[in-house]
Chain A
Amino acid sequence: MIRNERMTVVHQAKIAHNIFELTLQGELVQDMAPGQFVHVRVGDSFEPLLRRPISIANINKDMNEFTMIYRAEGRGTELLSKKQVGDTADILGPIGNGFPVDAAAPGSTALLVGGGIGVPPLYELAKQLNARGVQTIHVLGFQSENVAFYEEQFSAFGETHYVTADGTKGTKGFVTNLLDERKPEFDVFYSCGPLPMLKALEVQFPDKEGYLSFEERMACGIGACFACVCNTTEAVEKDYVKVCSDGPVFPKGVVAL
């Protein structure tokens, strides 16, 4: 259920260049699942006006806390990055359909592929998959070493590979270069990142079950405004889907790429 809550900041830290980790406390956490997002109002003024959709990176139901990792690159996220412990934030959520954890059977192996600010939601996913006995392999792509994060956290759950566009960390190039080289064995893949990356994965693994998380400009965040509509492939009956309320995660082959 989507609710609106003023949540309290319990932690904020800069973890890479322009990348922030923000932990909030409140009741909404009890309803959260991996791959879902929250719609954040960063202030009370009209500037900036709209909410910011930000993915959920870590859920701690015992503590009523969740963590988001975001890039401060515009007015909204810059203001968010100024919030300090004890401040509150207006959060609407949790929103959308997340990653289906039960698509990976205990004992199987899942490949998690993230790109840039698409990496954070894979962390909670890796945590929950491992908790049900699924082995996870992580392939994480970034522009450069200075914007990469969570190496230790992902490594704690399984084999983790880094790829950077400029070669400053891990393999140089795109995540698909590394996947071509290493050819990891897996049963199902999950991914979140830029469209070209999602498209490349669909092409590279036509026979594997896969789930992709999409991003699109949003206004309402709940499916009413029709801003984040994507065309679908001929394989599905509906001729469009909304990223916010039908997604953000869709099975491979649903969204026309």
Chain B
Amino acid sequence: MSRINIELPGLQLKNPIMPASGCFGFGREYAQLYDLSKLGAIMIKATTVETRRGNPTPRVAETAAGMLNAIGLQNPGLDKVLAEELPFLEAYDVPIIANVAGTEIADYVEVAERISQAPNVHALELNISCPNVKCGGIQFGTDPATAQQLVEAVKAVSTVPVYVKLSPNVTNIADIAKAVEAGGADGITMINTLIGMRLHEKTGKPVIANGTGGLSGPAVKPVAIRMVYEVYKNVTIPIIGMGGVTNAQDVIDFMSAGASAVAVGTANFVDHFVCPNIIEALPSKLDELGVEHISEIIGRSHR
């Protein structure tokens, strides 16, 4: 019997590990490296109604134990994702969590309604937290009332459970979490990146063409852990935690703080096999802790 399977709304996870949206494309590249069926789930790159070309380059900059990115939600658009990307992933025994983005509520509703009907999409992740696009995204994630309204609209059309990805760039993340729960969200994913900036040593100007970018990587883990810890106390819906996860201990930390599953983002760029490596390392981590099943770890910081 598996010691690391997790059941969440819409998701029967073989293990609690999944690549985070935006760090794994639509899976094609990593499929050249390992069998995607090993993963608990895959959070695919944000999909919008229309094709998005993204921001000018440079789009990334390295920082101390982290990186900034401002890709700008580049994606081929809903039609192509439905026709080409999701069918490719059907070859693998892995549930897909479709990240949904837009500039107004109607965009989210259109993407959610259609993408939730794809056979391998088992859940949606509403992206109300992308810091890198001029309109849409983050403004839905910084005001509780707007966030709730968006969740209600999407819940009305989605045929699969709806998770909401929260932004850390807010004064009180618990307020947003409670609002999306009130709006009918089935779960929360958190955190998206922290808005940051790196300056060029010689010119003093921002390195990233967009000026600001989203900070990710090991540097943000303490912030993410604190926020998962806080949100867990304030909602009853499950949390998928993320932010600087690079190894099995990080997974234990996020689950202890209250996450039921964990996404891996930036670490996929550093160790391209990090997800299967963590999955393999989890059982011995449970042995060390004297725990039979990984679900026993969830929220133990609060007990």
Interface residues of A (CB under 8 A from B): 1-2, 4, 41, 46-51, 92, 216-230, 239-240, 245
Q: Decide if B61 touches A217 in the complex (CB within 8 Å).
A: yes
Q: Decide if A49 touches B69 in the complex (CB within 8 Å).
A: no
**10 closest cross-chain pairs (CB), A and B:** A224-B25, A46-B65, A224-B29, A227-B60, A220-B269, A222-B29, A219-B269, A223-B29, A46-B218, A217-B58
Q: Decide if B266 touches A224 in the complex (CB within 8 Å).
A: no
Cα distance, A2 to B30, chains bound together (Å): 10
Cα distance, A220 to B272, chains bound together (Å): 8
Residues of chain A within 8 A of B222, CB atoms compared: none
Number of interface residues of B (CB under 8 A): 36
Which of chain B's residues has its CB closest to A51's CB? B270
Q: Decide if A228 touches B57 in the complex (CB within 8 Å).
A: yes
Which of chain B's residues has its CB closest to A41's CB? B270
Q: Decide if B57 touches A217 in the complex (CB within 8 Å).
A: yes
Q: Decide if B57 touches A49 in the complex (CB within 8 Å).
A: no
Cα distance, A15 to B162, chains bound together (Å): 58
Q: Decide if A50 touches B272 in the complex (CB within 8 Å).
A: no
Residues of chain A within 8 A of B24, CB atoms compared: 224
Nearest CB on B from A253, distance (A): 20
Q: Decide if B57 touches A227 in the complex (CB within 8 Å).
A: yes
Q: Decide if B58 touches A224 in the complex (CB within 8 Å).
A: no
Residues of chain B within 8 A of A4, CB atoms compared: 33, 272-273
Cα distance, A230 to B54, chains bound together (Å): 11
Contact of A230 among B57, B71, B218, B273 (CB under 8 A): B57
Main secondary structure of the interface of A (DSSP, over half): loop
Q: Decide if A50 touches B57 in the complex (CB within 8 Å).
A: no
Nearest CB on A from B201, distance (A): 10
Nearest CB on A from B302, distance (A): 28
Q: Decide if A219 touches B57 in the complex (CB within 8 Å).
A: no
Cα distance, A209 to B104, chains bound together (Å): 47
Residues of chain B within 8 A of A218, CB atoms compared: 60
Q: Does B196 contact A (CB under 8 A)?
A: no
Q: Decide if A225 touches B69 in the complex (CB within 8 Å).
A: yes
Q: Decide if A222 touches B57 in the complex (CB within 8 Å).
A: no
B70-90 with Cβ < 8 A to chain A = 71, 74
Interface residues of B (CB under 8 A from A): 22-25, 28-30, 32-33, 45, 53-54, 57-62, 64-67, 69, 71, 74, 217-219, 246, 266, 268-273
| A92 touching B272 in the complex, CB below 8 Å, given contacts A49-B67, A227-B71 | yes
Q: Decide if A49 touches B270 in the complex (CB within 8 Å).
A: yes
Nearest CB on B from A94, distance (A): 13
Residues of chain A within 8 A of B32, CB atoms compared: 1-2, 222
Cα distance, A54 to B272, chains bound together (Å): 17
Which of chain A's residues has its CB closest to B58's CB? A217
| A223 touching B272 in the complex, CB below 8 Å, given contacts A48-B62, A217-B60, A217-B61 | no
Q: Decide if A49 touches B62 in the complex (CB within 8 Å).
A: yes
Contact of B25 among A47, A221, A223 (CB under 8 A): A223
Residues of chain B within 8 A of A230, CB atoms compared: 57
Cα distance, A101 to B68, chains bound together (Å): 37
Which of chain A's residues has its CB closest to B219's CB? A46
Contact of A225 among B64, B65, B219, B269 (CB under 8 A): B269
Cα distance, A219 to B53, chains bound together (Å): 18
Cα distance, A48 to B24, chains bound together (Å): 21
Q: Decide if B23 touches A224 in the complex (CB within 8 Å).
A: yes
Q: Decide if B66 touches A49 in the complex (CB within 8 Å).
A: yes
Nearest CB on A from B243, distance (A): 14
| A51 touching B29 in the complex, CB below 8 Å, given contacts A225-B60, A225-B69 | no
If A226-B59, A240-B74 are given as contacts, then 14 extra A-B residue pairs at C-beta distance below 8 Å, sorted by A number, are A2-B32, A47-B64, A49-B66, A217-B59, A220-B268, A221-B269, A222-B272, A223-B28, A223-B29, A224-B25, A225-B69, A227-B69, A230-B57, A245-B29
Nearest CB on A from B275, distance (A): 12
Cα distance, A2 to B32, chains bound together (Å): 8
Cα distance, A51 to B62, chains bound together (Å): 10
| A229 touching B67 in the complex, CB below 8 Å, given contacts A220-B269, A224-B24 | no
Question: Can you list 5 A-B pairs, Cβ within 8 angstroms, ordered by A?
Answer: A49-B266, A219-B60, A220-B272, A224-B30, A226-B54
Q: Decide if A219 touches B69 in the complex (CB within 8 Å).
A: yes
Nearest CB on A from B281, distance (A): 16
Residues of chain A within 8 A of B270, CB atoms compared: 41, 49-51
Which of chain A's residues has its CB closest to B61's CB? A217
Q: Decide if B54 touches A49 in the complex (CB within 8 Å).
A: no
Q: Decide if B269 touches A229 in the complex (CB within 8 Å).
A: no
Q: Decide if B62 touches A50 in the complex (CB within 8 Å).
A: yes
Q: Decide if A225 touches B273 in the complex (CB within 8 Å).
A: no
